[in-house]
Structure 1
Amino acid sequence: MKIGIVIDSACDLPQKFIEKHGLEMMPISLNIGSERLKDTRDPQETLAFYRRYLKDKDLDAETAPLSVQEITDLFLDNLALKYDRVLVITVSSARSPTYDNATKASYQILNDYKERREKAGIGGSFALRVLDSKTMFTGEAVLVHEACRLAYEEKLPFDELRPRIESLTQDVKAFLVPDDLYYVRNRARKKGDRSVGFLAYHVGQLLDVKPILRGYKNETAAVDKVSGFNNAVQKMMNIAKEEILHGLQTNIVCMSYAGNPRIIQDTPMYKDFKLFCDEHGVDIMLSIMSTTAAINLGPGSFSLAFISGKEEDE
């Protein structure tokens, strides 16, 4: 029985990890002015995209998920022939229609897969499960990291995989700090994001105050405000350190940067955080932030996520 894991391109994982585990991608469409592109998380294309598009603040840029029919075709023409069981992990349903579209597509896929597999000479049944991560970007990444570990290292039965990962969605904490508040206010608000209001935007721009946003259980809100981008990133890393000391449910912290990751890797705060994680047996992964995320957060943004430990009274 071959198990496949499908992600959308908003999931911030390093390309090497995606390739190592054979993760399948549901690309997200990028509507840039009159052009329509696909975000496939190619690192070089993503960096080129930042240089070409995102510095033009007047450029109309939006993201759009695959349609129900596009997802149906992707599975019937490819994935249902390649795998016997598939788990789809999507960006938060509160942020994107991807989960709803994938769920609707799953009904048609499960109705039609038998004929496709029979024509291809493939026996056996096919099963598909769709999971709302209730988070975004690096938050998705920590869930997918654990799904890969359970499916491919622990060999957890497929019927147990989805409920195990779904239980973890309640404890994923994804933190984000934009370098330029313009994008959060003027682009992400098209999707209903009101994390940064008019007054906060102008005060923030004037005083270089950066909000720390937290994605948690399908909700996004500003949980702190810090003067200076580096100070805000340091505060996020300090939050992660405190959680690590209390004990994470999975020993992984995922980070992403909307630019060349070396800019973050070369900072003293990153080196200090990596040393701290090494000392406490926690792995870290740093990737290029997806263009999907950067369209809403802007170039130079940073994200960090982990799965916090259970509270003692739970």
Structure 2
Amino acid sequence: MRIGVAIDAAVDVPQDFVERNGVAVMPITVKVDNHRFKDDRDPAEILRFRDQKLGSRSQSAETEPSSVEDVQNLFLGRMVKDYDCVVCLTIMATRSPIHDNVIKASFAILKNYRPIREAAGISGPFLMRVVDTRNIFAGSAPAVAEAVRMIQAGKSPAEVRERAAHIADCSYGYMLPRDLNYLRSRARSKGDRSVSFLSSMLGTALDIKPILRAHRGETGPVGKVRGFEHGAQVLFEYAAKRVQAGLLVPCLSLSYGGELDEMRNLPGYTALTRICGDAGVEMLETPMSITGMVNVGEGAMTLGFASEEHVAEF
């Protein structure tokens, strides 16, 4: 059985991972002032966004995840012919409508695929499996990596979905923002009051940065640090300890809202790289999606891994 993988554009995985594994990307449309971007994880489009210097003007940007019709067109136009089953992994349903859109689209896809496959000379049914990664950005990557690994190991669609859902429950995504004022403004524009005016003002004045965590569909602060570089070091050292304790999926994902070399020059990165290498853990590094930069600000960093339940200590 030919099993494929589809993700939405806000799932931060490297472009070479997408291309190497034939992962389909469900795009997100981003509108900033008079500028329009198609966020489909294309590095050229991400670079175009950064080159436009729109980061400071993106608080009121509009984002439009793939609609029900868009998902139907993607699957009926291509996926039902290329695969016999597709596992769709989306960022947390509590933060984006894309998961619900895929679920709704699946009804029409499963109702209308047969004539398309028959015309292409393909027999047999087509299946869809939809997984809420219950995480965002780099935090969604471990479930995607595990789904790909299970497919390559010849597992059945049911086994792939069950394992991906389990990894989603065990995934931890951490974010270190660079600009608290931007984060607050963007959150308020979306009706999210989680970053108060007072805390953002104090944070900016004292250079205090929160460490935010996404886990099982919820996001919130789990620590605070002084200065972005120090925060990166704290987060890298924490991730190194989790790697040494053992991960459920042998990968650590990183996304950064800027040039990756900037992230690689942050304190603690080199040590983390060495520890991952010693443990046989692959580092999946990628520029943050346009959607991610619009929502959390340029220069922010996210980190994700899957592990046994534990208490975050910062």
TM-score range, shorter chain: over 0.9
Q: Is 1:4 aligned to residue 43 of structure 2?
A: no
- CA drift of 1:140 comes to 1.3
- CA drift of 1:35 comes to 3.9
- CA drift of 1:293 comes to 0.5
2:113 is aligned to 113
- CA drift of 1:268 comes to 4.2
- CA drift of 1:53 comes to 4.1
Change over 3 Å in CA distance of 1:58–1:157 after alignment to 2:
closer
Conserved 8 A contact 1:246-1:309: no
Matches of 1:131 and 1:31, distance apart in 2 = 27
1:52 is aligned to 52
Deviation sequence 1:227-267 (CA, Å, 0-9, x none)? 10011111111221222232211121100110110111233
1:142 is aligned to 142
Deviation sequence 1:202-230 (CA, Å, 0-9, x none)? 00111111111100110010111111001
Deviation sequence 1:124-148 (CA, Å, 0-9, x none)? 1100111111001111111111111
Matches of 2:266 and 2:222, distance apart in 1 = 24
Deviation sequence 1:259-307 (CA, Å, 0-9, x none)? 1101112334211111122222222121101111010111100010100
Structure 1 segment 147-162 matched on structure 2, within 5 A: 147-152=147-152, 154-162=153-161
1:102 is aligned to 102
Structure 2: state its 5+ residue gaps.
Answer: none
Conserved 8 A contact 1:249-1:310: no
2:232 is aligned to 233
1:286 is aligned to 285
1:30 is aligned to 30
Q: Is 1:167 aligned to residue 166 of structure 2?
A: yes
Conserved 8 A contact 2:177-2:300: yes
Matches of 1:233 and 1:85, distance apart in 2 = 39
Change over 3 Å in CA distance of 1:220–1:189 after alignment to 2:
farther
2:126 is aligned to 126
- CA drift of 1:34 comes to 3.6
Q: Give the match's secondary structure for 2:284.
A: strand
Matches of 2:58 and 2:245, distance apart in 1 = 45
Matches of 2:23 and 2:288, distance apart in 1 = 17
1:204 is aligned to 203
Structure 1 segment 8-87 matched on structure 2, within 5 A: 8-57=8-57, 60-87=60-87
Matches of 1:37 and 1:51, distance apart in 2 = 12
Matches of 1:45 and 1:191, distance apart in 2 = 24
Structure 1: state its 5+ residue gaps.
Answer: none
Conserved 8 A contact 1:89-1:130: yes
Q: Give the match's secondary structure for 2:52.
A: helix
Conserved 8 A contact 1:195-1:220: no
Matches of 2:154 and 2:84, distance apart in 1 = 15
Conserved 8 A contact 1:33-1:59: no
Equivalent residue letter for 1:144: V
Q: Give the match's secondary structure for 1:146.
A: helix
Conserved 8 A contact 2:232-2:267: no
Equivalent residue letter for 1:19: E
RMSD of equivalent CA atoms: 1.6
Matches of 2:268 and 2:84, distance apart in 1 = 44
TM-score, length-scaled by structure 1: 0.94
**How many residue pairs get matched?**
310
Change over 3 Å in CA distance of 1:220–1:117 after alignment to 2:
same
Structure 1 segment 222-261 matched on structure 2, within 5 A: 222-261=221-260
Matches of 1:304 and 1:106, distance apart in 2 = 31
- CA drift of 1:52 comes to 0.6
Equivalent residue letter for 1:214: R
Equivalent residue letter for 2:104: K
Equivalent residue letter for 1:147: A
TM-score, length-scaled by structure 2: 0.94
